[in-house]
Amino acid sequence: MPELPEVEIVKQGLLKSLPKDEIQEVQTFRKDLRFPLPLKELAQLKNHSIKTISRRGKFLILETTSRHFISHLGMTGHWRFESTYSPLKHDHIRIQWNSQNLIYNDPRRFGYILNYEIDLFKNFGPDPILDILEAKNFYPRYKKSETNIKTFLLNQKNILGIGNIYASEILFKAKIKPLKKVRQLKLQDWESILVETKLVLNKAITLGGSSMRDYKNVEGDKGDMQNHWLVYGKQSIPCSVCKTAIKNITISNRSSYFCSQCQK
């Protein structure tokens, strides 16, 4: 599933080729993805244009001269441009300009497009790239939390954009074991986690994101971050710091990789 860095790369790719002129037509090839599509609002994009595309967490925000939409890629969603449209299986939406097409394809249909609602992000945590993350805000707020830090990081209500891969990588860099209870974290632990969150995600963006299975950017290229993972998918491989074999445990049904020596 794409996490924040991969969605950021998709956004950058979309912005590179986004036509400035008016949309000729929007075709939808089914009524729903994970949720019902806003069919009427999408059709009303005719004669409007997309002003820009922004990102918050794992959400893309399509800002048009008519209204805003959010796009979530789910597991296998991706957008591609084509000057001449060549239909593919699992194409669900086609936005058509004079000399360009933007197509949304999603084989597993866990992705979705919705009308943007102003209070959408009210119940979500901060975005680690767009917002300032401060240990002094997290530490008192979650002092009594019985959750483990791995599960905490995956919850978009606490912090946006982190998924299973980057949660393991961040906790390894911060030297915190994934099962550590949030209430046991000291102020310095929060500082390490939040600093490493920014560093790990920024590094992944610089490297074009992580590609496993389906993820490709808008141009169809793969990222390179998977070649720089330190613990994710490295079960039994010696830790890059201390040479102890990396462990893999299941937390909330997800694989979590860590070094039992480096992470306390």
Is 122 catalytic? The answer is no
Q: Which is nearer to Zn ion, 42 or 149 (CB)?
A: 149
> Amino acid identity, residue 140?
P
Is 82 catalytic? The answer is no
Q: Interface residues with Zn ion (CB under 5 A)?
A: 239, 241-242, 244, 259, 261-262
What's the min distance (Å) between Cβ of 185 and Zn ion?
20
What's the min distance (Å) between Cβ of 167 and Zn ion?
17
Q: Which is nearer to Zn ion, 44 or 261 (CB)?
A: 261
- Half-sphere exposure (Cβ direction) of 54: Cα atoms closer than 13 Å: 9
Q: Which is nearer to Zn ion, 62 or 246 (CB)?
A: 246
List helix spans (H) across the chain.
4-17, 39-43, 135-141, 149-154, 164-174, 187-206
Residues 136, 157: Cα–Cα separation, whole Å: 18
Is 36 catalytic? The answer is no
Q: Which is nearer to Zn ion, 159 or 239 (CB)?
A: 239
Catalytic residue, from 34, 67, 222, 254: name it.
254
Catalytic residue, from 2, 126, 128, 178: name it.
2
Q: Concatenate the DSSP letters of all residues of 117-170 into one string.
A: -TTTTTTS---TTTS---HHHHHHHTTT--SBHHHHHH-TTTSSS--HHHHHHH
Residues 187, 139: Cα–Cα separation, whole Å: 6
Residues 218, 222: Cα–Cα separation, whole Å: 10
Q: Which is nearer to Zn ion, 187 or 237 (CB)?
A: 237
Instruction: Region of 14 please: left (phi>0), alpha (psi -120 to 50) or beta.
Output: alpha
What's the min distance (Å) between Cβ of 243 and Zn ion?
7
In 3D space, the residue among 128, 124, 125, 127 whose CA is nearest the CA of residue 200 turns out to be 128
Residues 58, 165: Cα–Cα separation, whole Å: 14
What's the min distance (Å) between Cβ of 23 and Zn ion?
52
Is 38 catalytic? The answer is no
Q: Which is nearer to Zn ion, 235 or 252 (CB)?
A: 235
Q: What are phi and psi of 229, to 5 degrees?
A: -65, 140
Asked if residues 171 and 153 have their Cβ atoms less than 8 Å apart, the reply is yes
The DSSP code for 219 is T
Catalytic residue, from 11, 58, 173, 177: name it.
58
Instruction: Give the residue numbers annotated as catalytic, written as ranges.
Output: 2-3, 58, 254
